[in-house]
């Protein structure tokens, strides 16, 4: 799921639904940054796991 926020950033938020809580990661992409957030920093419950990101910049 991609979401455009008011500040102009795009967020990709893959989520795994267990019950009423959401666990997962948020990937934020701006023109200059690629940011991975996990856990409470983006409102999710504490999670245990990992993510592998491959970023390819194209013209």
* Domain range summary for the chain, segments of one domain joined by +: 2-42
pTM as predicted: 0.34
Give the pLDDT confidence score for residue 19 in this predicted structure.
Answer: 43
Arithmetic mean of pLDDT over the chain: 63
When comparing pLDDT for 8 and 26, which is higher?
8
Q: What is the mean pLDDT of residues 21-43?
A: 63
Q: What is the mean pLDDT of residues 40-49?
A: 53
Backbone phi, psi, residue 41, to 5°: -60, -25
- Cα(19)–Cα(38) distance, integer angstroms: 18
- Cα(33)–Cα(31) distance, integer angstroms: 6
Whether residue 54 has pLDDT greater than 70: no
């Amino acid at each position: 799921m991609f979401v455009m926020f008011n500040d102009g950033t795009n967020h990709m938020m893959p989520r795994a639904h267990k019950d009423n809580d959401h666990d997962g990661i948020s990937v934020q992409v701006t023109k200059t940054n690629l940011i991975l957030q996990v856990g409470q920093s983006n409102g999710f419950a504490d999670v245990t796991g990992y993510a592998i990101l491959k970023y390819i910049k194209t013209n």
